[in-house]
Structure 1
Amino acid sequence: MKEKKQQKSKKKKGWDPLSLTVLLIALCVFVFSAYQLAMMMVPYYTGGEEYDEIKNLAIVSDKIGEGVEEAPKFQVDFDKLMQENPDTVAWLRFDQPSIISYPVVKSADNNEYLTKTFSANDNKLGAIFMDMRNQNDFSDRNTFIYGHNMKVGGEMFSQLNEYASEDFYKAHPYFYIYTPDGKTRTYEVFSARVVKDLAEVYNLNITTDEEFEAYLAECKSTSNYVTSPGVDRNSKIVSLSTCTNVNEDERFLLQGVLIKEE
């Protein structure tokens, strides 16, 4: 009798076919999910490494200047950037600790740099690029620059969305654009808000002073918060646009007005 009970207890401890099948399926799902996650992370890692290399290649000096409105003593070797990519038109940088510090490119097709990095590698990070309708020298009344809002890693224009907060704006009201002609342009944020991707705010066919004044008034009045810099018909502005990652047809738009050029 004891031997039979022992045999029964041994059988209960074994894996039945159904349990083993379920375990194997669960293991396969886990391995596949881990693989998919790893494949999703690869572009973020390789893209981030690439842009770190570009910064090491091109940034000659990144000492920070004194004074709130003083542009950082920041120098870029545009000759090296041009050798790497002739589409280079500028370098965009925000005050530290922001990681937004990237070369700006421009091509004849706004779609080109959505999935192509500065070094022409296929990558979902893409590049920071100027609207193909704009002049390279920032002489337009309104210059648009685009970049992705990456869900992981905070690369590219991800940190733009932090300007939805008035406190963040007050702590970091300026950004800077450096161009191959040696000029440094300082911009002060005057509007930050969510807009539709096909909104009139992206219209560059504004020709009269009255139309531009109306455009600026709309930008100021619809901002998330009241900003200090004044804007008028003589203003030169830069509009930085990225996804919100909330709704596909929404964009976060941060706009700055030129307050100093040297």
Structure 2
Amino acid sequence: MQQRQAAPQGRLQQQGRQGHTPPQQGTRSQGFRPVQAGHAAPAAYGADAADGGRGGKGKGRGGARKGGPWRIVFWVALVVFVVALAALGAIGYSYWQGQNAYDSVAEEVFMAPEDIEGTALSDLTVDWDRLLAINPDTVGWVYIPGTAVNYPIVHTTDDEKYLATDFNGQQTWGATYGSIFLSAANAADFSDANNIVYGHHLNNGSMFAAIADFENPDQFNAHRTAYILTPQGNFKLRSLSLVHVAADDPLAQTAFATGEELASYIQDKVDRSVVAVSDAPAAADIAHLFAFATCDNLPSDGRYVLFSYLEESTVANVAAVGGADAAVDPEAAAAVGGASKEVAA
């Protein structure tokens, strides 16, 4: 049976226009006396005369108010500028506040090793007790070395909840951080054939903004490895495709009736990738897939989706490239086997 769904979305745009006031007609100066013979015209009169004589559009008393409509335009523009500046400041503060909250959580629960490639997958640890105490909806942690992607993953039965709710349960405003969340259609333990993880694309480069940058082949190839850490064990992933699709593209499929159907789905994503990948395994050899989805922040309101296959796992009975045996870390498998024998005894 297939499950398909469109990615959650949201947007807001406002515009405004300023009207224009026509200039006012001048009036005749008060207290004016005709010039007597033999006397020079007063300087003020000369100025009025240059503008069309008595009763014209004067610059003296009774004419249009100094500045006229341009004074109104200036003050309106100034007000708009101040409001825009305040809005930018509020958004900037929201960015800082949101990322600072996630940075604080990361410092408490997960310390990525400097040489992560040289670190055994089973040695990557997260303080799950602390995370679950903060948010019981926690199901994992996602980390892409060399990027800002270093966040907890939550999961509920409602994909709308964490669009604007951060990991601490706060409803965010301004720059909406929300949370990184696993699709409601997925099992919470990442055991599905295709696991779809959503995150916002924020303009300060946080959350899943890095995924949109992978359209650049150099950026894509420099960050092929990602990690999903869970209470059940850890996954090491390697990217094989980046697709750029419309928001209603039916790619959010989590279950497949047959292995052939899954292989066909994977091959379609490889064929549609905006970045060429030469070392991807055959689609038929991939049994476990992860998809990281984010907005493209373009007027077309599309999505970037990064597809990765499972390269290594410490979770028993989760298939990676090469079949179930290749998916399991030997030490983890031995530990599971020993625990089973104890239970049987």
TM beyond 0.5: yes
Tell me the distance in 1 between the aligned counterparts of 2:264 and 2:257: 12
Residue 54 of structure 1 corresponds to which residue in structure 2?
Answer: 105
Q: 1:237 aligns with which of 280, 289, 312?
A: 289
**1:132 and 2:188 matched:** no
**1:113 and 2:162 matched:** yes
Preserved CA contact (<8 Å) 1:240 1:253: yes
The unaligned stretches of length 5 or more in structure 2 are 1-39, 48-58, 315-345
Per the alignment, in what secondary structure is the counterpart of residue 110 of structure 1?
Answer: coil
Preserved CA contact (<8 Å) 1:105 1:130: yes
Deviation (angstroms), 1:71: 5.1
Tell me the distance in 1 between the aligned counterparts of 2:141 and 2:196: 14
Residue 180 of structure 1 corresponds to which residue in structure 2?
Answer: 231
For the structure 1 residues 52 and 69, does the alpha-carbon distance in structure 2 shift closer, same or farther, using more than 3 Å as the test? closer
Q: 1:220 aligns with which of 270, 275, 289?
A: 270
Tell me the distance in 2 between the aligned counterparts of 1:31 and 1:138: 48
Q: Deviations over 1:134-165 (max 9, x none)?
A: 111111110000000112x1110001012112
Alignment TM-score, normalising by the size of structure 2: 0.67
Alignment TM-score, normalising by the size of structure 1: 0.87
Residue 141 of structure 2 corresponds to which residue in structure 1?
Answer: 91
Per the alignment, in what secondary structure is the counterpart of residue 214 of structure 2?
Answer: helix
CA RMSD of aligned residues (A): 2.4
Tell me the distance in 2 between the aligned counterparts of 1:246 and 1:76: 35
Preserved CA contact (<8 Å) 2:140 2:228: yes
Determine which structure has the larger strand proportion and give its number: 1
Tell me the distance in 2 between the aligned counterparts of 1:30 and 1:166: 39
**In the comparison of the two structures, how many residue pairs are matched?**
251
Deviation (angstroms), 1:49: 1.4
AA in 1 matched with 2:77:
A
Deviation (angstroms), 1:212: 0.8
The unaligned stretches of length 5 or more in structure 1 are none
Residue 218 of structure 2 corresponds to which residue in structure 1?
Answer: 167
Preserved CA contact (<8 Å) 1:58 1:78: yes
AA in 2 matched with 1:226:
V
For the structure 1 residues 24 and 169, does the alpha-carbon distance in structure 2 shift closer, same or farther, using more than 3 Å as the test? closer
Deviates more, 1:35-44 or 1:136-145: 35-44
**1:27 and 2:72 matched:** no
Preserved CA contact (<8 Å) 1:63 1:73: no
Deviation (angstroms), 1:81: 0.4
Deviation (angstroms), 1:42: 2.9
Residue 45 of structure 1 corresponds to which residue in structure 2?
Answer: 96
Residue 122 of structure 1 corresponds to which residue in structure 2?
Answer: 171
Preserved CA contact (<8 Å) 1:210 1:233: no
Preserved CA contact (<8 Å) 1:113 1:129: yes
Residue 102 of structure 1 corresponds to which residue in structure 2?
Answer: 151
Residue 309 of structure 2 corresponds to which residue in structure 1?
Answer: 257
Identity among equivalent positions (%) equals 26
**1:192 and 2:242 matched:** yes
Deviates more, 1:135-144 or 1:35-44: 35-44
AA in 2 matched with 1:128:
I
For the structure 1 residues 72 and 28, does the alpha-carbon distance in structure 2 shift closer, same or farther, using more than 3 Å as the test? farther
AA in 1 matched with 2:151:
Y
Per the alignment, in what secondary structure is the counterpart of residue 16 of structure 1?
Answer: coil
Preserved CA contact (<8 Å) 1:116 1:127: yes
